[in-house]
Structure 1
Amino acid sequence: MSTFLDLVEKRRTVYALGTDSEYSKEDIENRIREVVKQVPTAFNSQTTRVVVLFDEANDKFWDHIYDVQKNVLEGEMWDMMSGVMTGAKKGIGTVLFFEDKEAVEVMPAQGARQEAYKQNNNANAQYAVWLALAEMDLGASLQHFNVGYEQGFDKGTKEMFNLPESYEMLAQMPFGSVEQEIGEKEHIDTDVQVKVLT
């Protein structure tokens, strides 16, 4: 019974990424495909779309993010996040997480409930993919650069990769071999997080 818990504990945020892996890009792609296929979604709506970037596509994406964000972020925030962007290019690849707005709009829900279902669908995929990468001894982090469909913040990414206009980018997950020692994670008391009532 410890296998799943071990995997949950193994999944951590990793910024120092490398390319050393026993798994091929095809292995990683196939694992991501299978995991996303099995992720639960509201009403089995299957609204999440995932794009996996390797090699030149990965470099191109992070160069684009860097160019945009250098005009947005300042001071300490730029110092911290620019390292995340350049570090992402040193890994194996990046998973981009989208929601297809056309698929979202046909869910039997409207307004705030539709938005909640969309976010939950995508979050399920993000966590499942992250666990799958951890199982393959790959580190990753979850980022939220250039998100904002209504403002057009993700338009450049969609144009770059010829993706449908209906795709709304919600997150990015750069991944690769773990090139840093992972420190201990602090936890609040589980009694604060979990209440049990009878």
Structure 2
Amino acid sequence: MKNKSLQDSIQDRRTYYQLSNESPVSDEEIQKIIEYVAYWAPSPFNSQSARMVLLLGENHKKLWELTKAELKKISHSEEAWKKTEEKVNGSFLAGYGTVLFFEDMSVVKGLQGNMPSYSEKFAQWSEHSTAINQILVWMALENEGFGASLQHYNPLIDEGIQKEWGISQDWKLVAQMPFGTPLAEPGEKTHEPLEKRVLVFM
């Protein structure tokens, strides 16, 4: 991974919707990024419930063709479908790969059973766990020269993904992160005043 300051990595992480299917690094390096995050990302009670699936090449394309097929079923008109298809083709399918983020609900249920006093909190903490993995992967991909975005086509595509890649029924799909070499700059980012969002007491 490139030697960036943490502040730069946070600032540079943006949403890119125009991608190419080129990669600035090898597939092995991409795999190392995913594995590094999976290994080191924190989780409640060190439960390590986060799961990730890296799709490259034809598997990446299959995902977005599957997604388009499901979206077409629920499109209200041919015009609406064409807009949807253009978005998926240009912003997601056109990329180099996709990371699928899951939570292993068997781990979450095990924690609920072992620690009933926290039972109602574990589902919420599971969301925290996957969010941490998502942002770390996003920043790490950005550091290598990729652009990415975070998508949520679940539960529409859950069944198709489970069948296509033999994913366990215990794995709950949370998000999809298509990535590739960016073809355009991200949109302008606006900021609410910090004094409305951060309180400091000294």
Question: TM-score w.r.t. structure 1 length?
Answer: 0.89
Alpha carbons of structure 1 residues 177 and 193: separation in structure 2 relative to 1, 3 Å: same
* Higher alpha-carbon deviation: 113-122 or 70-79: 70-79
**Given that residues 147 and 171 in structure 1 are in contact (C-alpha distance below 8 angstroms), is that contact kept between their aligned partners in structure 2?**
no
Greater Cα shift, 12-21 or 55-64:
12-21
Larger deviation, residues 13-22 vs 127-136: 13-22
1:155 maps to which residue? Answer: 159
- Once residues 80 and 12 of structure 2 are traced to their aligned partners in structure 1, the CA distance between those partners, rounded to angstroms, is 27
Cα distance change of structure 1 residues 156 and 183 upon mapping to structure 2, 3 Å threshold? closer
CA distance in 2, matches of 1:169, 1:156: 11
Deviations 1:169-196 (A, max 9, x none): 0000000001112343111101111111
**What is the rounded CA distance, in whole Å, between the counterparts of 2:197 and 2:71 in structure 1?**
35
Aligned pair 1:178/2:182, yes or no? yes
Alignment map for 1:56-71 (pairs within 5 Å): 56-71=58-73
Offset from partner CA, 1:23-56 (integer Å, 9 cap, x none): 0111111111111211110110000100000111
1:98-154 Cα deviation digits (max 9, x unpaired): 01111111123312x111111000000000100001111100000000227xxxx51
How has the CA–CA distance of structure 1 residues 183 and 155 changed in structure 2, closer, same or farther, with 3 Å as cutoff? Answer: closer
Is contact 1:53-1:94 (8 Å) kept?
A: yes
Q: Give the match for residue 152 of structure 2.
A: 144
C-alpha distance after superposition, 1:63-111 (max 9, x if no partner): 1111111223447975664334213111110000001111111123312
Among 90, 114, 119, the alignment partner of 1:110 is 119
Gaps of 5+ in 1: none
Alignment partner of 2:181: what SS?
strand
CA distance, structure 2, for counterparts of residue 62 and residue 101 of structure 1: 25
The answer for the alignment partner of 1:90 in structure 2 is 94
From the two aligned structures, give the one with the greater helix fraction: 2
In structure 2, the CA distance between the partners of 1:195 and 1:155, relative to structure 1 (3 Å rule), is same
Q: Which amino acid aligns with 1:115?
A: A
TM-score by length of 2: 0.88
Number of matched pairs? 192
Is the contact made by 2:23 and 2:146 (CA closer than 8 Å) also made in structure 1? yes
The runs of at least 4 aligned residues of structure 1 exceeding 6 Å deviation read: none
Question: What is the root-mean-square deviation of aligned Cα atoms in Å?
Answer: 1.9
Contact 1:146 1:154 in 2 (8 A): yes
Q: Distance in 2 between matches of 1:67 and 1:92?
A: 20
Q: What code does the residue aligned with 1:33 have?
A: E
Aligned to 1:32: 34
Report the alpha carbon displacement of residue 20 of structure 1 after superposing the two structures with TM: 2.9
Give unmatched runs, 5+ long, in structure 2. Answer: none
Distance 1:32 1:155 in 2: 23
Structure 1 residue 61: deviation in Å? 0.8
